[in-house]
Amino acid sequence: MTMSLGRRAVGVPPARPITAGREAGEMVAEGVCAWFGKRLVLEDVTLTMARNEVTALIGPSGCGKSTFLRILNRMHETIDGAQLAGTVSLNGTDIYGLEQRAVEVRRHIGMVFQRPNPFPAMTIAQNVLSGLRFNRLRVANPDEVVEEALVKAGLWNEVRNRLKALGGDLSGGQQQRLCIARALALRPSVLLMDEPCSALDPTSTRRIEQTIGDISHEVTVVIVTHNMQQAQRVSDRCAFFLAGEDEPGRVVEEGPTEQMFGNPDDPRTRDYVNGQFG
């Protein structure tokens, strides 16, 4: 759990409480670098994830997409020896500001992982409410929250009659949607998704893509995907990450999805999105 303050940009703006949920937020990353131990894995990434837009991060394996995503909600610093530089702000507030608490930041910036990870000792309903419970947020009507989140995640119809079943009793695709519901129940401003469909069948993938479309009006979505069609289908903007041999990952090109897929500036982007890479 080390974070080198020395490497952080100086001149941190005074901390303000992050303006809380209910509406999508705008994330801006500027000059973000990341290290694991002495190894620089991500260099100078500057990216704006606009409000209400779905941003897709694409690029070959190992180029630092997950690392970048984890920097956006301060999960990077939970790894031993991980360090970072640069600034990341949500609605203009530096999330790495000295007075920001990491746990508070994570509440506003939800995350869905590559592998579904519902809490096995909790029921479906408890899983959905877990974020609220962890943050000691009391709600007047928990049942409503559960229903709303599950409807948003496109899981309600399948589980409405067994909300008391354990989270682990669902199929993989259902578990992933439960994880999305769990993240949505906290009403985050931003939702980060790290290859959320990589373990799922086409039908579940469709459902989740639909979900992303449905929720993008109230939460800014950042999604990592290896599936070019998926990136095309769900995203408004795309960022292409690339790491050379023994070189850190960088953003080669970013822009509106149509342009990235239709008429990219960089030949490497064209090769990659057309599947002619390497």
Partner 1 sequence: MTTTSVNSTPGQHRFHLGQGPAHRRMRPREFGPTDIVLAGLTLLAAICTAWIVFDQLTLLSGMLGFVVVTAAVFLLYYYVLNRQLLGRRAASDRLMGAVATLAMAAIMTPLVLMVGFLFERGAHLLSWHVLTTTQQGVPLVCVPHQHCAQAGVFHAIVGTAEQVGFAMLLGVPAGILTAVYLNEVGGRLAHWVRVIVTAMSGLPAIVAGIFIYSIWVLKFHFSGFAGSLALAILLLPTVTRGTEEVLKIVPGDLREASAALGAPQWRTVWSVVLPTARSGILTAVMLGIAVTIGETAPLLFTVFGSTTTNWNLFGGPQASLPFLIWEMVKLASKSTIDLAYTAALVLFLLVFVVFLSGRILGSPWLGSAVRSLANRRSARRRVALEEVADR
Ligand X SMILES: Nc1ncnc2c1ncn2[C@@H]1O[C@H](COP(=O)(O)OP(=O)(O)OP(=O)(O)O)[C@@H](O)[C@H]1O
> By the criterion CB under 8 A, which residues form the site for partner 1?
73, 75, 78, 103-107, 110-111, 113, 115, 117-123, 126, 130-131, 133-135, 138, 140, 142, 164, 179, 182-183, 186
Q: Under the rule (CB under 6 A), what is the footprint of ligand X?
A: 36, 41, 61-67, 79
CB of 165 to Mg ion, least distance (A): 30
The angle formed by the CA atoms of residues 121, 222 and 50, to the nearest 5 degrees, is 135
Q: To 5 degrees, how large is the angle CA 219–CA 224–CA 226? A: 140
* 141 and 97 Cβ atoms separated by less than 8 Å: no
- The entry of ligand X, Mg ion, partner 1, none near residue 64 (CB within 5 to 8 angstroms by kind) is ligand X
Taking CB within 5 to 8 Å according to partner kind, which of ligand X, partner 1, Mg ion, none is near residue 121? Answer: partner 1
* 123 interacts with, out of partner 1, ligand X, Mg ion, none, CB within 5 to 8 A per kind: partner 1
Q: Are 194 and 224 in contact (CB under 8 A)?
A: yes
Spell out the residues 6+ positions from residue 87 whose beta carbon is closer than 8 angstroms to its own: 8, 9, 12, 28, 29, 30, 31, 32, 94, 96
Q: Minimum CB separation from Mg ion for residue 84, in Å?
A: 16
CB of 163 to ligand X, least distance (A): 33
Amino acid letter at 22?
Answer: R
Q: How far is the CB of 114 from Mg ion (least distance, A)?
A: 7
CB of residue 268 to ligand X, shortest distance in Å: 15
DSSP 60: S
Scanning the structure block, which residue is given the tokens 């991980």?
82
38 vs 138 by CB, closer to partner 1: 138
Q: Please, which residue, 61 or 157, has the CB nearer to ligand X?
A: 61
Q: Does 211 bind Mg ion (CB under 5 A)?
A: no
Instruction: Give the integer Cα–Cα distance in Å for 259 and 101.
Output: 38
What's the closest the beta carbon of residue 218 comes to ligand X, in angstroms? 27
| Min CB(47)–ligand X separation in Å | 14
- Measured from the CB atom, the residue of 5 and 121 that comes closer to partner 1 is 121
| 105 within 8 A of 74, measured Cβ to Cβ | yes
* Interface with Mg ion in residues 57-76 (CB under 5 A): 66
Region of residue 187 (phi > 0: left; psi between -120 and 50: alpha; otherwise: beta): left
Q: Which of 203, 106, 117, 210 is nearest to 167 (CA)?
A: 117
**Amino acid letter, residue 16:** R
Give the helix ranges, DSSP H, for 169-201: 172-185
Select 65 or 182, whichever has its Cβ closest to partner 1.
Answer: 182
170: tokens are 């669902």
61 makes contact, choosing from ligand X, partner 1, Mg ion, none, with CB < 5 to 8 Å by partner type, with ligand X
Cβ nearer to partner 1, comparing 134 with 277: 134
Contact 266, 253 (CB under 8 A): yes
Binding site partner of 104, from ligand X, partner 1, Mg ion, none, Cβ cut-off 5-8 A by kind: partner 1
Binding site for Mg ion (CB under 5 A): 66
